[in-house]
Amino acid sequence: MTSPGRAAITAKHLRTDRWWLQPAVTFTGLFLFVVYSTWRAFADTDYYAAPYVSPFYSPCLADNCRDMRNGPNFDLLGSWWGLSPALLILIFPLGFRLTCYYYRKAYYRAFWASPPACAVSEPHAKYSGETRFPLIMQNMHRYFFYAAVPVAGILTYDTVLAFRDDSYEFGHMGLGTLVFLVNIVLIWAYTLSCHSCRHLIGGKLRHFSKHPVRYRMWTWVGKLNERHMQLAWASLISVAAADFYVYLLASGAFSDPVLF
């Protein structure tokens, strides 16, 4: 498309590389996660195998949850909730990811072709950005960050409980413990690398010299922020892997190998 002030080039783009490959891979990865997480969220089964609880079901906010000894059972909603308890909690971490600056770029390009890639025109005749409903709701990202932090804290508690055996005795470690450890490290790294976290720590400071501690924390978060894309994907894979591992144990596919 040509317009005044632009070169009179009729081609949609002049790129000769495989520009479509990255959005195609992104589409495939996100689509597979959506399908898997939807299945597991509505399954309402095979999410607890002592001492492990699936991160999709933690914390459990209804009384229709499995009895998890010393686990994240918080019967806040009583017995009126009859659907899967995962639907009560997943809205917060999923909302955090859906409004994430990196994920916006990823699924805008992969699913909506807006635009599909750099220097490739988009098929949409109009562009309103995030100024209208529903995309204006993306501005809630900072509030989802506030909700994601306590959820990550509860998943940390679940990881501590993973150092028990199936008789709830501490001082033990299974393969699942390693899976949970890797997952919680990546969850925290992704959460703290968030742009909202960086702004919260030091974004409003006028004089870094007057706030040396916050400045140091701001630089640490800034280093994590440089790897925000990689952490977004790594934590997405790790949380699905942790859930799938618990599913395999709870469904009786195999027993958790004991390390000590």
DSSP assignment of 148-216 equals HHHHHHHHHHHHHHTTB-TT--BS--BHHHHHHHHHHHHHHHHHHTSHHHHIIIIIT-S-GGG-HHHHH
- Residue 180 burial by Cβ neighbours in a 10 Å radius (0-12, 13-18, 19+): buried
- Describe the crossing of helices 21-43 and 101-112 by its angle, rounded to 10 degrees: 110
Q: Please give the average per-residue pLDDT across 100-106, as a whole number.
A: 94
Give the model confidence (pLDDT) of 20-43 as tens digits: 999 999 999 999 999 999 999 999
pLDDT above 90 (res 234): yes
Q: Record the pTM.
A: 0.89
Q: Does an H or E element contain 106, and which?
A: helix 101-112
Q: Are 59 and 73 in contact (CB under 8 A)?
A: yes
Question: Minimum mean pLDDT among 84-88, 180-184, 247-251: which range?
Answer: 84-88
Question: What value does the mean pLDDT take over residues 118-131?
Answer: 79
pLDDT above 90 covers a percentage of the chain that reads: 58
